[in-house]
Structure 1
Amino acid sequence: MAFTCKRPAASLDGHASRPGAMCRKRRRVIGTTYDYDQESCLSRGKFGAVVKARCRATGQLVAIKSLHDPADPREVLREARFLEACGGHPHIVGFCGVTLDYVTDELCLVMDYVEGKSLKVLLSERSGGLPEATVCTFMWQLLTAAKKMHGCHIVHCDINPANILVGGEGAGRGFVKICDLGVAMSMSEAPPYEEEAGMGEYRAPEMLLGKEDYDALVDTWSLG
């Protein structure tokens, strides 16, 4: 199924929405969703959806995230900025760029596609849990990812099994990648921070108590 075009994509900051056009903070817009063929829906949540798509020009598989209406472009660019800052880390989902939805004229995130499933799904399929060696490997990878984010002054705020992708399992070389920085915050920002961040038992006590000045330790709690 292709992303279909009903009307021309809107321009951003006076620039035409075409490959190479620029948006706020000089972030590059890499074409529109018309440049991709949608293959399947990977996930759908409270704030948005992620689809698996293939670039028509290169054949590259990517994951495209769009926010539910009404989408705030500032939120998309904020997450893009965080992903870009963490770029290159093997255990944080890779960032490809920003693109325009050809139908809604709204910004979407284009990320690396990870062949696999979420840790939440994997654990639901394993009644006996994961082998100790696998747990140790995954934890080391997650801790290095958290160290990278915190070194970039970014706090994820919502680390939980649903936001951890597991790949390479079939080849016996499993790895994990943290994804979805939609509610992440910058340590350089002044509180109050996001009140609805985090999920259930993975939320740190200071978040549950409604404190407005939490820090990177909330990610440590989620991982621990």
Structure 2
Amino acid sequence: MTLPQTLWRLRQVKPLGSGGFAEVWLYHDPALDSPVAVKVLSAQWTQAADIRERFLQEARFLRSVDSPHVVSVHDIGETPAGAPYFVMAYADAGSVAELIAQHPQGMPPELVADLVTQAAAGLDALHVRSVIHRDVKPANILLAGGSDGRLRAMVADLGVARALDQHTEVTRQIGTPAYMAPEQFDESLPIDHRADVRSLGAVAWAMFAGRSPAPALTVVSRVPDLGTVSPVPATVSAVIMRALEPRAEDRWPDAGSFAAALTAATEGRAVAVPPPSDAPTMLRAPGPAPSTPMPPPPPQPRPSRRRRNAVLVAAAVAIALVLGGAATWFVSRGGPVEEPANGGETAAGQPVSGAETAAVRFVEALQAGDCEAAGLYMPDLDDPASWDCTDDANGGDGFYFHILEDLDAGGERRVEDLGDGLFRVVWVDQGYVNMQRQEDSLFKVERVVCC
């Protein structure tokens, strides 16, 4: 999206980054002589009413929280092209993700404790308003430099946050697998603020280890003990591993308690870390996996100069994901539950159904090289999150998603209802993605044929 050189009195400086739904630009406020960040909804989503409302809800959430450790929103508006945007504080020191990349052997304990404490204060400020962030990860903890040299941490990106009384299953599994709590993957388990405590624990683990932890997708799967991957004192490891307990009732009761215990442990003070309780967690018995026969592919698209043929089938996806203990969902809420009739066309660039929105998000994540956002990882690697699913020299696993660079994600599309909850999202003359409905607007990628 090309933003105007001026928004109100703000003057454009440069783009800062983009994601599946929004872009962030650096602007300068000449009246205050200070930089600000402008987050704008991407052009292809401006006509999607629910995505637009979620974007505006993020601004409202951020504005309602009075904490120096939650990124602040100063103003809200709409571009001449009709795209909503909001103006927020600029994080001039990057993010915790960048710090982790700069410290592959782990960050200094006092810095970890300081940043975790600040992030915990921001999360507690959200939780007291009954808002769960649900996507706490290093990239969403922004940093601003202070005159004293100390970094100020600010929790950001509430695009998938939900108030406790507004929680729906539709958005339960949106997040980044390496940092999500197990209950975000299992609709039989309740979600509360302790999901964010678990995610903050994963961030702390990554700060000490210099890399992301492997996803823990069920209440019986565990992240490796921090002491086995980083030379930290046993008490520090115990504090973090309690935050990472699979069951919510076994974690620290709130983010502040976790941060206080971590600070004490890094300072060498005694910390009482209660063992997990013996109370059983009631789980929904898993039913048999649905077996939907794969329909025959449509006629081959017309060839182009840059086109390469490749097929990613559901069985191959299962090989990579079932090893991790659960299927990976690419979830989205994208318009009405009712899908277009078989062969019904949708306007290019304007998703109108849940299956279409999920497919577009999947493709956009792959094209951005964000394998975690696409829900893909290799669990048998020492550092699963470091696996590049877009690299065709990644060990012969068959996931050569570089082909998706040739697909125009904003091109003309149609959605075909194949029956039994299976939908084919076709990029006309390019390829298609099959999406299997799980419930309402919850979808799983089943098959990709592209380029």
**1:134 counterpart SS class:** helix
Match of 1:136 in 2: 113
The C-alpha deviation readout for 1:60-110, integer Å capped at 9, x for no partner, is 321111122222431222111111111x301110111211112x2121111
Aligned partners of 1:211, 1:78: CA distance in 2, in Å? 26
Output the CA distance in 1 between the equivalents of 2:99 and 2:112: 12
| Percent of aligned pairs sharing the same letter | 28
Letter in 2 for 1:180: D
- Which structure would you say has the larger Rg? 2
Q: Is the 8 A contact 2:21 2:45 kept in 1?
A: no
Q: 1:36 aligns with which of 1, 4, 10?
A: 10
* Corresponding residue of 1:150: 127
Q: Secondary structure at the match of 1:172?
A: coil
The correspondence of residues 135-214 of structure 1 with structure 2, limited to 5 A, is: 135-168=112-145, 171-211=148-188, 213-214=190-191
Distance 2:123 2:77 in 1: 27
- The 1-side partners of 2:114 and 2:175 are apart by 24
Cα 1:190–1:172 shift into 2, 3 Å: closer
Q: Secondary structure at the match of 2:68?
A: coil
Q: Deviations over 1:171-206 (max 9, x none)?
A: 531221111011100012153251342202101001
Residue 60 of structure 2 is aligned with which of 76, 81, 87?
A: 81
In 2, distance between residues paired with 1:52 and 1:112? Answer: 10
Distance 1:211 1:199 in 2: 20
- Give the secondary structure class of the aligned counterpart of 1:143: helix
Measure, in 1, the Cα distance between the counterparts of 2:167 and 2:105: 43
Deviates more, 1:176-185 or 1:190-199: 190-199
Q: Which has the higher strand share?
A: 1
Query: Size of the alignment, in residue pairs?
Result: 195
1:100–1:208 CA distance, 2 compared to 1 (3 A): same
Instruction: Say which SS state the counterpart of residue 188 (structure 1) adopts.
Output: helix
Question: Of 55, 69, 88, which aligns to 2:29?
Answer: 55
Does residue 70 of the first structure (1) align with residue 53 of the second (2)?
Answer: no
State the alpha-carbon separation in 2 of the partners of residues 212 and 106 from structure 1: 37
* Equivalent position amino acid for 2:38 in 1: I
Q: CA deviation at 1:117?
A: 0.7
What is residue 94 of structure 1 aligned with on the other side? 72
Gap regions ≥5 residues in structure 1: 6-31
- In the alignment, the residues of structure 2 paired with residue 170 and residue 161 of structure 1 have an alpha-carbon distance, to the nearest angstrom, of 23
Which residue identity is paired with 1:70?
Answer: W
In structure 1, how many angstroms separate the alpha carbons of the residues matched to 2:164 and 2:25? Answer: 30
Q: For residue 15 of structure 2, what is the amino acid of its counterpart?
A: C
8 Å Cα contact 1:192/1:212 also seen in 2: no
Structure 2 SS opposite 1:43: strand
* Paired AA for residue 35 in structure 1: R
Quote the Cα distance in structure 1 between the aligned partners of 2:14 and 2:4: 15
2:167 and 2:101 mapped to 1: Cα distance?
Answer: 38
What is the letter of the counterpart of residue 141 of structure 2?
I
Q: Give the aligned CA root-mean-square deviation in angstroms.
A: 2.2
Task: Name the CA distance, whole Å, in 1 between partners of 2:188 and 2:12.
Answer: 41
Distance 1:99 1:55 in 2: 15
Q: Report the TM-score when normalising by structure 1.
A: 0.79
The one-letter code matched in structure 1 to 2:45 is P
For the residues of structure 2 that align with 1:82 and 1:153, how far apart are their CA atoms? Answer: 11
- After superposition, residues 117-136 of structure 1 pair within 5 angstroms as 117-136=94-113
The answer to whether the Cα contact below 8 Å between 2:173 and 2:185 also exists between their aligned partners in 1 is no
Report deviation, 1:123: 0.8
C-alpha distance in 1 between matches for 2:108 and 2:61: 32
